[in-house]
Amino acid sequence: MEDRGGKLTNALSDVTGASSRRILTALIDGERAPARLTELTVGHARAKIDALTTALGSTFTGHHALMCRLFLDQIDRLAGGVTEIRDRIA
């Protein structure tokens, strides 16, 4: 997302956390309004609305959506592999 002029980690430290995931999913699904996206935050992220609004105020294209979807899918696959290995060890 940094190539589009926004940096989510300026506002949220964990881009795989609940708030980040909800925002990224909404962006992928076509939501672009920063005010609506910041409404998706939960917990401690609610205190960072101003910084998040700034980070979400730049252009997010279909290409960015595709790349984010591919990255999130890869994160999910890797997390699934970690869970499988932990289960086998247990």
Convert the pLDDT of each residue in 6-39 to its tens digit: 678 888 888 889 999 999 999 999 999 999 999 9
Q: Do the Cβ atoms of 28 and 68 come closer than 8 Å?
A: yes
Q: Is there a contact between 44 and 11 (Cβ–Cβ < 8 Å)?
A: no
Decide if 60 contacts 1 (C-beta within 8 A): yes
Determine phi and psi for 46, rounding to 5 degrees: -60, -25
Instruction: Tell me the per-residue pLDDT of 39-73, one tens digit each, with 9 for 90 and over.
Output: 999 999 999 999 999 889 878 899 999 999 999 99
Query: Number of structural domains, the chain?
Result: 1
Q: Give the closest residue to 1 by CA, choosing from 76, 73, 66.
A: 66
Containing structural domain, residue 27 = 2-89
